[in-house]
Structure 1
Amino acid sequence: MSDAPDDGAGEDLGPYEAVVAHPDGDATVARFAQTARRYGYDGLVVRTRAAEFDAEALRERYGVDAVPAVEVVAEEPSSASGAVGNFRPDYPLVLVRGGTDALNRFAVEQDRVDVLAAPLSGDGDFNHVLAKAAATHGTRVEFDFGPALRESGGARVRALKGLRKLREICGHYDAPYVVSARPTSHLQLRAPRELVALGGELGFDEAWVREGLAEWGRLATRNRERLSAEFISPGVRVDGCEETDR
């Protein structure tokens, strides 16, 4: 359901974080939501397909929007393609985890993929060809701040260097993006101001980081509308009161 990068940009949404919840992570969605509210998040994207939660109950209790998502993890593009096709009709957000050149390229060349997740993990690289493809297909590129927050020594230095390079390439080609710390526990959740501070260390301005956090919510809002029965095409909806038999 990817689209032009500015699609939905008019939505006035606050920060969202994309989390790895139980059973893949160490905290339930409810625990994440409780912490997210305290830190000032408007919503959570739940990457874990097997996570069980009641989004409406979490909204009522914590005032946090919990968005069901799926992060496709595959060894090769052919496997990822089948999974994306299976999950696309049922989930507001579909991510593909990168980490290899082949998977990174697959994700940014697919209109059906919303986000290329963790493109710099593993042996993956990101270059100008992929940035152009992401801009063309509207696939958001994830800036994963997690390693820069949680690693130390040489690993942290490499993570910072990779993020700076990714920002330079995406900025040059106006590739759309999202920002996340990719927490697997509520203890790894960081307030937006902490991510802004890390961005400052990298040379990213505050507005850029906050836009990347809000983009998760914009995508979710747009795709939820497209999954609704009333949606036909952008700007066109079925009138619920319209007569169907004429």
Structure 2
Amino acid sequence: MEGNYSTKKNYRENFYDLNISGNKSIVQEAERLGFAGVSLTYNFDDYNSEISKEYDELKYESNIIIRKCLEINCKNPEELKKKVRRSRKKADIVMVRGGDNSINRAACEERNVDILSQPYRNRRDSGMNHVLAKKAAENDVAVEINLSSFLKTNLRYRHRIVSQFRHIMALKRKYGFSVIITSGARSSYDQRKPMDIFALSNCFDMTENESFEALSIIPQHIIDRNDNRNNFVLDGVRTVVEL
């Protein structure tokens, strides 16, 4: 999805962090920092009725938009497809943990995946290439730039993370797939104000427009798309209720 910075006035203060831990203090801190909404990320394999109840309570008590994200960790593309189908019934947002070549590609080829998380995980390269970039654009799969990858990495290796982020952005500019920025926060100490994230993203050669798109326009698009998912009967065909 392509965004335009001229639309910023329509999204003022609508910043979203689509990958934080399902923790009350983190949700409260996100609100204090100025986020309009967050997505609470749970591991698909650990998700159960007790966690579902905790999520419902957090959502009820919160003053900001809350969505549920299930992160899928899998060994092969076949397992990915099975877990994605099951996740779609339980979650608002489906995220696939990247890193492995075959998983990165399978995620980019799957329209029911919303986010490919950290395709560069445990790699020397970005985990993305022109083939995956085209697939991600075709299937509206957003690629995640997770700030915890940068902030929690040893100083000796941060240059590699910066290089990976810059390569992702170079591919994004050429092929037009979506990129989102998340904190990956597992405690309130991992969180940053949106304006601080804007400043940090300069290190990754992101323009102000690209940073805004990754923090506001694309996350809101993901939320809106999934809120309306039940109204779509085919790709591009939506049911309309007459009043």
Q: RMSD of the alignment, in Å?
A: 2.4
Paired with 2:31 and 2:107, the residues of 1 have a C-alpha distance of: 31
Tell me the SS of whatever aligns to 2:180. strand
Taking structure 1 as the reference length, what is the TM-score of the superposition? 0.82
2:223 to 178, 195, 220: 220
Alignment: residue pair count: 224
Taking structure 2 as the reference length, what is the TM-score of the superposition? 0.83
> Counterparts of 1:34-183 in structure 2 under 5 Å?
34-48=28-42, 50=47, 51=51, 52-53=54-55, 54-59=57-62, 63-123=63-123, 125-183=127-185
Q: Is the 8 A contact 2:25 2:188 kept in 1?
A: yes
2:192 paired residue number: 190
Tell me the SS of whatever aligns to 2:228. helix
Q: Is the 8 A contact 2:20 2:26 kept in 1?
A: no
Paired with 2:91 and 2:122, the residues of 1 have a C-alpha distance of: 26
Deviations 1:86-144 (A, max 9, x none): 11133221111111111100000011111111111023721111001111111111122
Runs of 4+ in 1 over 4 A off after TM superposition: 10-13, 230-235
**Deviation of 1:222 (Å):** 1.8
**Deviation of 1:171 (Å):** 1.2
**Deviation of 1:56 (Å):** 4.3
Tell me the SS of whatever aligns to 1:164. helix
Q: Is the 8 A contact 1:19 1:184 kept in 2?
A: no
- Give the structure with the larger helix fraction: 2
Q: Is the 8 A contact 1:43 1:64 kept in 2?
A: yes
Paired with 2:135 and 2:119, the residues of 1 have a C-alpha distance of: 14
**Deviation of 1:219 (Å):** 0.8
Percent identical: 23
Paired with 2:182 and 2:60, the residues of 1 have a C-alpha distance of: 24
Paired with 2:185 and 2:201, the residues of 1 have a C-alpha distance of: 17
**Deviation of 1:68 (Å):** 0.8
> Counterparts of 1:14-25 in structure 2 under 5 Å?
14-22=14-22
Paired with 2:186 and 2:129, the residues of 1 have a C-alpha distance of: 28
**Deviation of 1:231 (Å):** 5.5
Task: Identify if the C-alpha distance between structure 1 residues 232 and 77 changes in structure 2 by more than 3 Å, giving closer, same or farther.
Answer: closer
Paired with 1:195 and 1:101, the residues of 2 have a C-alpha distance of: 28
